[in-house]
Homo-oligomer: A and B are copies of this chain.
Amino acid sequence: MAAVLAHHTYGKSRVCLTRVTRQADRHDLKELTIDIRLEGDFAGSYTHGDNSHIIATDSMKNTVHVLAREQPLPDLESFGLALADFFLAHYAHVSLASVRLAEQPWRRITVAGQEYPHAFMGGGTEQRTCMVSVTRQERRIEAGLEDLLILKTTDSAFRGFIRDRYTTLADTDDRIFATILTAAWQYRDTTADWNRCYDLIHQTLLETFARHQSLSVQQTLYDMGAAALGACDAVEEITLTMPNQHRLLVNLQPFGLDNPNEVFVPTHEPFGLISGTLRRDSRGKA
């Protein structure tokens, strides 16, 4: 057989975990979904069905459970590092371990104005994410968020774009700007105050979006990314992705009515998808 195995990787996806930490005065709750992917000397399993180097994906799942018991879980980043490091430390033939973690948001239920110590409600669609990649040479940490719905009802224009045979969209000075933000940022090092960095970037992205006088989705994306780099020195680079969740102004003229930017139809497809990566300028301070 003259085919060559050019690349191979395998792992366990969607390992779901609920971790309760029982403090004296309250319980802490974390729910994570974890994807593990390994590279290394597994070729024999592909080419000859020789499984002697194979770590069963079921064992990877077990490893998540064991480490969740043996370690504290203060944030995604340190648990992801512990997991990735484990696979390289235990198995000499593993060359890369990558671990992706996503945290489901929970917040405490308020009872009589106080946070209740062991009852929680869903905190929204937004997920905090983390991707740890560890090789024998390097350890990299990327953090992020996804599915953060944001919308502003004004301060958004879009005009002056190319107008040719294929253009029917009108210029506008005032439209709704809605998106489902995904962000991912690279940390410079493998130590930082992960939760503080996350909160800083999260809040900076929200505030910049809210305040921005937008001339295009692209411009708002850029200013949000630049503000995030400015807010957290530990971050080297950030990528933002913004699907444009169009709200179309309804034409009410057939019914003898005007529509001063009050009634819109949200549409889900097709959608514009805008993406950009900003890097800290090595010649100066972001």
Q: Which residues of A contact B (CB under 8 A)?
A: 1-22, 27, 29, 31, 35, 37, 42, 45-63, 65-66, 68-70, 90-91, 106, 109-112, 116, 118-126, 147-155, 158-162, 164-169, 176, 206-207, 209-211, 214-219, 221-222, 225-226, 229-230, 237, 239, 243-244, 247, 250, 252, 254-257, 259-266, 268-281, 283-286
Contact = CB atoms under 8 A, between A and B. Distances in A.
B69 A263 contact: yes
A63 B167 CA distance: 9
Contacts of A230: 3
A262 B6 CA distance: 38
B2 A206 contact: no
B270 A152 contact: no
A155 B206 CA distance: 37
A61 to B, nearest CB: 5
Contact of A151 (B46, B120, B206): B120
A45 B216 contact: yes
A282 to B, nearest CB: 8
Contacts of A120: 150-153
Contacts of A217: 10
B263 A55 contact: no
B273 A150 contact: no
Contact of A124 (B47, B57, B124, B166): B124
A206 B109 contact: yes
14 contacts: A1-B226, A3-B279, A5-B276, A7-B239, A7-B277, A8-B218, A15-B270, A29-B151, A49-B215, A51-B216, A55-B161, A65-B265, A90-B164, A91-B162
Contacts of A51: 158-161, 215-216
Contact of A167 (B9, B56, B214, B215): B56
Given A2-B281, A66-B252, A255-B66, A111 B211 contact: yes
A59 B2 contact: no
A169 B14 CA distance: 18
B5 A222 contact: yes
A14 B216 CA distance: 21
B57 A277 contact: no
A46 B280 CA distance: 16
A70 B257 contact: yes
A272 B35 CA distance: 10
B124 A277 contact: no
B3 A61 contact: no
A195 B224 CA distance: 35
A119 B176 contact: no
B22 A162 contact: no
A162 B20 CA distance: 30
Contacts of A257: 66, 69-70
